[in-house]
A and B are shown apart, each in its own frame.
Chain A
Amino acid sequence: MNAVPLFVAIPLGAAFLIPLFGLWWKKSGEVLATLSTLVLAVMAISSIGAPAVTHHMGGWAPPVGIALVSDGLAILLLIAVNVIGFLCLVYSLKYMQVYSGLPKYYSLFMLMVAGMNGVVVSGDLFNLYVFLEIASIASYALVAFGVEADELEAGFKYLVLGSVASVMILFAVGTVYAVTGTLNMADAAREISTRFGGPEMNPALLLAAALFLMGFSLKAALVPFHAWLPDAHPSAPAPISAMLSGVVIKSLGVYAICRVFFHVFGFMPGVTSSVILANIMIWFSVLSIVFGGLLAVGQWDLKRLLAYSSVGQIGYVMLGIGVGARVLATGGPRSLAGLAILGGLFHLLNHAAFKSLLFLASGAIQQATGTRDMKQMGGLKERMPITAMTTNIAALSIAGVPPFAGFWSKLIIIFAAVKAGLLVVSFIAIAMAFVTLVYYVKLQREVLFGTVRGAVENAREVPALMYVPLIILAIFCVGFGLLYPVLGYRILEPARDALLNGAEYIKLVLG
């Protein structure tokens, strides 16, 4: 018995206990949700450096039974999801007090965490789909939680597009099952590599790959499929925006792309379809970087700016992973592919920290000043020093200013892209890094510094329960950059190795 199923069982149990206890005990949501997310965060952190394990549900060994797999990549995502989840939950204790129906909120929150943890540890394609739907349905409901006109419209849009993505993913899962006769990811990978290896990939598998890429890109909001994100993320309550931008698009989108394409389909050198898939991934990410960055510059709504910036930054994450895939598929050096993937995963972790910080801070600002319009703000540093300082750190980190973590991850990605010979792509990535700097300088000038004006005059610092998560996340933003040689390699390098060695994964699951 190992602890892997607990990552799903604890939040699921809390999600069902909260409404039950909520009938008698008004504070049940706060207490139970805080306790369970705290336990999950501690469990996730204590699994750093743990060896990869599988758990066979019901004692049925794969490929017959469902396996829960926790390898390096899964541990990286578990840390991101559960730590950010805990901090967002602590923040919502105070922030959400103005809303009604709080037990439902905490129940949905725990369902979302359960779904994301399930996606991350699942070793079975259909199970991945089911957990993905659990997380998605909870997030649709949470986006529309305020039931105002904007929130409902954004929630409906998100729901329709997310459901289309789910239909595509289910179609692809069915196709993979029809071709390989198995749903277990490791078994499907073995079937694909032994029966369908070589330069001619089976057309049905190509269809499945295309559908998977489309579905997961929709969940990750890469550019041709990004239309829901700039509406849904700003409309949600601030802790939910932070969860959506910080971890949901990563665990449902980027993680699923990594798992399915690196482990199930595999990037075999010399296979034309693999090269095409990797190129498509790079094109999606470049489009995301360009459109997300350029659209963010023109925004005056604080949360919309952050949402567009999420599109751009998720492009950087996918760029690292796509370059790694391309290097693998064209038969380049594995160390270079590893470097690119490491950059992508490092940026994933950094983006989880600073984007959730920025969204939480935007919620604090909105609650203190009553507006999200950047034109009505200024000099926040005088009135809300802690929020302003932490926002500043996150903005510097996301813009890629040297000592902070965001600089190193972007540097690694761009360096890997240059080494891989993708000069135009790396030039675009560098140029758009400066655009990122531009819109975060705009945020600093308009909101944080300058003279106190507009809605900021009557603002006061938010209570401690709301700024302590901000401070912890700010420490992460600085710490990931400085402490990489001490701590980072213990999280990131196992994740990179897990992605690079598909054969290890098959051996781990099937024994």
Chain B
Amino acid sequence: MKGMTLIVKTISDFVVAFIVVFGAYIVLYGHLTPGGGFSGGVIIACAFILLMLAHGKDVAFSKLSERAAHILDSAGAIAFLVIGWIGVVGGFFFLNVFGRGEQFRLLSSGMILPANIAIAFKVGSSLFLVFSALAIFRRRSFRSMIEDELP
């Protein structure tokens, strides 16, 4: 994949930053407004997928390398499990031991916010990895596929 035309590249460069910020907003305010770790993580992953589609895989991997994505993937899952373990202090798995805080403030509702962030890392990086795995795979076999199917 070499990427698309100059118009697509310019526009996507312009848009990507906004998408990431919007995804981060969805993650951080997941406990107050509709959204959460999964939806925000998907949006962040979409930003990187857009980069990959517009510029090709080299540019996308220079922003978020495959190795870093693997690390974030596992680290997000482990962070979520650790958050569950913190609840054991109070006697139950996933017990919300942090203070609930004031209603409708960013730092409220205890461990839901860190859990959302952990899920966002997990979902964002694994979705990016799934897409890149299929895209790289496609490069290898798609050419022969098209040649077969075309008249």
Answer yes or no: A and B touching, Cβ < 8 Å. yes
Q: Kindly supply a per-residue 1/0 record for chain A positions 17-44, scoring 1 wherever the CB is within 8 Å of any chain B CB and 0 otherwise.
A: 1011001000000000000000000000
> Which chain A residue lies CB-closest to B74?
A20
C-alpha spacing A57/B90, complex, angstroms: 11
**Segment with Cβ contacts to B, from A5-13, A324-332, A437-445, A498-506:** A5-13
Which B80-94 residues have C-beta < 8 A from chain A?
A: 81, 84-85, 87-88, 90-94
Taking a contact as CB atoms under 8 Å apart, the answer to whether B81 and A13 are in contact is: yes
Taking a contact as CB atoms under 8 Å apart, the answer to whether B93 and A17 are in contact is: no
C-alpha spacing A276/B96, complex, angstroms: 46
Taking a contact as CB atoms under 8 Å apart, the answer to whether B92 and A16 are in contact is: no
> Which chain B residue lies CB-closest to A6?
B93
Question: At the interface, is chain B mostly helix, strand, loop or mixed?
Answer: helix
Q: How far is the CB of A176 from chain B (nearest CB, A)?
A: 24
C-alpha spacing A235/B1, complex, angstroms: 35
Taking a contact as CB atoms under 8 Å apart, the answer to whether A19 and B74 are in contact is: yes
Taking a contact as CB atoms under 8 Å apart, the answer to whether A17 and B74 are in contact is: yes
In the bound complex, residues from chain A placing their C-beta under 8 Å from that of B78 are 13, 16-17, 20
Taking a contact as CB atoms under 8 Å apart, the answer to whether B88 and A58 are in contact is: no
C-alpha spacing A234/B33, complex, angstroms: 50
Count of chain A residues with Cβ under 8 Å from any Cβ of B?
15
Q: Would you call A464 an interface residue if the criterion is a C-beta within 8 Å of the partner chain's C-beta atoms?
A: no
Q: Would you call B107 an interface residue if the criterion is a C-beta within 8 Å of the partner chain's C-beta atoms?
A: no
Q: A9-B84, A59-B90 are in contact. Are A23 and B95 (CB under 8 A)?
A: no
Taking a contact as CB atoms under 8 Å apart, the answer to whether A59 and B85 are in contact is: no
Q: Would you call B16 an interface residue if the criterion is a C-beta within 8 Å of the partner chain's C-beta atoms?
A: no
In the bound complex, residues from chain B placing their C-beta under 8 Å from that of A55 are 92-93
Taking a contact as CB atoms under 8 Å apart, the answer to whether B92 and A56 are in contact is: yes
Instruction: Choose from B67, B75, B87 the contact partner of A58 (Cβ within 8 Å).
Output: B87
Q: Would you call B70 an interface residue if the criterion is a C-beta within 8 Å of the partner chain's C-beta atoms?
A: yes
Taking a contact as CB atoms under 8 Å apart, the answer to whether A1 and B74 are in contact is: no
Which B18-69 residues have C-beta < 8 A from chain A?
A: 67
Q: Would you call B77 an interface residue if the criterion is a C-beta within 8 Å of the partner chain's C-beta atoms?
A: yes
Q: A16-B78, A19-B70 are in contact. Are A9 and B85 (CB under 8 A)?
A: yes
In the bound complex, residues from chain A placing their C-beta under 8 Å from that of B95 are 58-59
C-alpha spacing A56/B93, complex, angstroms: 8
Q: How far is the CB of B90 from chain A (nearest CB, A)?
A: 7
In the bound complex, residues from chain A placing their C-beta under 8 Å from that of B74 are 16-17, 19-20
Q: Kindly supply a per-residue 1/0 record for chain A positions 396-435, scoring 1 wherever the CB is within 8 Å of any chain B CB and 0 otherwise.
A: 0000000000000000000000000000000000000000
Taking a contact as CB atoms under 8 Å apart, the answer to whether B92 and A23 are in contact is: no
Q: Would you call B4 an interface residue if the criterion is a C-beta within 8 Å of the partner chain's C-beta atoms?
A: no
Taking a contact as CB atoms under 8 Å apart, the answer to whether A23 and B70 are in contact is: yes
Question: Which of B75, B78, B88, B92 gathers most chain A CB within 10 Å?
Answer: B92
Q: Would you call B71 an interface residue if the criterion is a C-beta within 8 Å of the partner chain's C-beta atoms?
A: yes
Instruction: Choose from A16, A19, A20, A57 the contact partner of B93 (Cβ within 8 Å).
Output: A57
Q: A16-B81, A58-B93, A58-B95 are in contact. Are A1 and B71 (CB under 8 A)?
A: no
In the bound complex, residues from chain A placing their C-beta under 8 Å from that of B75 are 20
C-alpha spacing A167/B14, complex, angstroms: 41
Taking a contact as CB atoms under 8 Å apart, the answer to whether B90 and A20 are in contact is: no
C-alpha spacing A59/B87, complex, angstroms: 9
Which A477-510 residues have C-beta < 8 A from chain B?
A: none
In the bound complex, residues from chain B placing their C-beta under 8 Å from that of A56 are 92
Nearest 3 pairs of A and B residues by beta carbon: A20-B74, A16-B77, A59-B92
Q: Which residues of A contact B (CB under 8 A)?
A: 1, 5, 9, 12-13, 16-17, 19-20, 23, 55-59
CB-defined A-B contacts under 8 Å, sample of 15 = A1-B91, A5-B93, A9-B81, A12-B81, A13-B78, A16-B78, A19-B73, A20-B71, A20-B74, A23-B71, A58-B87, A58-B94, A58-B95, A58-B96, A59-B90
Q: Which residues of B contact A (CB under 8 A)?
A: 67, 70-71, 73-75, 77-78, 81, 84-85, 87-88, 90-96
